Structure 1
Amino acid sequence: MRWILLVVGALMLVVGLVWTLQGLNVLGGSAMTGQTLWAVVGPIVAIAGVVIVGLGIRRGAVRR
Structure 2
Amino acid sequence: MKSRAGRITLIVVGAIALLVGVVFAGQGANLIPGSSMTGDRTWLYIGLVLAVVGIVLLVLGIRRRKDGS
Q: 2:48 aligns with which of 20, 43, 47?
A: 43
CA RMSD of superposed structures (Å):
0.9
Matched residues in 2 for 1:53 and 1:43: separation? 15
Matched residues in 2 for 1:31 and 1:4: separation? 31
Task: Name the residue aligned to 1:30.
Answer: 35
Write out the 4+ residue segments of structure 1 that deviate beyond 2 Å after TM superposition: none
Return the offset for 1:35: 0.5
Task: Name the residue aligned to 2:3.
Answer: none
One-letter amino acid of the structure 2 residue matched with residue 54 of structure 1: V
Query: Could you list the runs of 5+ residues in structure 2 that have no partner in the other structure?
Result: 1-5
Matched residues in 2 for 1:17 and 1:51: separation? 14
Matched residues in 1 for 2:31 and 2:40: separation? 11
Return the index of the structure with the highest Cα Rg. Answer: 2
Identity among equivalent positions (%) equals 44
One-letter amino acid of the structure 2 residue matched with residue 12 of structure 1: A
Q: 1:56 aligns with which of 57, 61, 65?
A: 61
> Higher helix fraction: Structure 1 or Structure 2?
1
Instruction: State the TM-score, normalizing by the size of structure 1.
Output: 0.92
Aligned length: 62
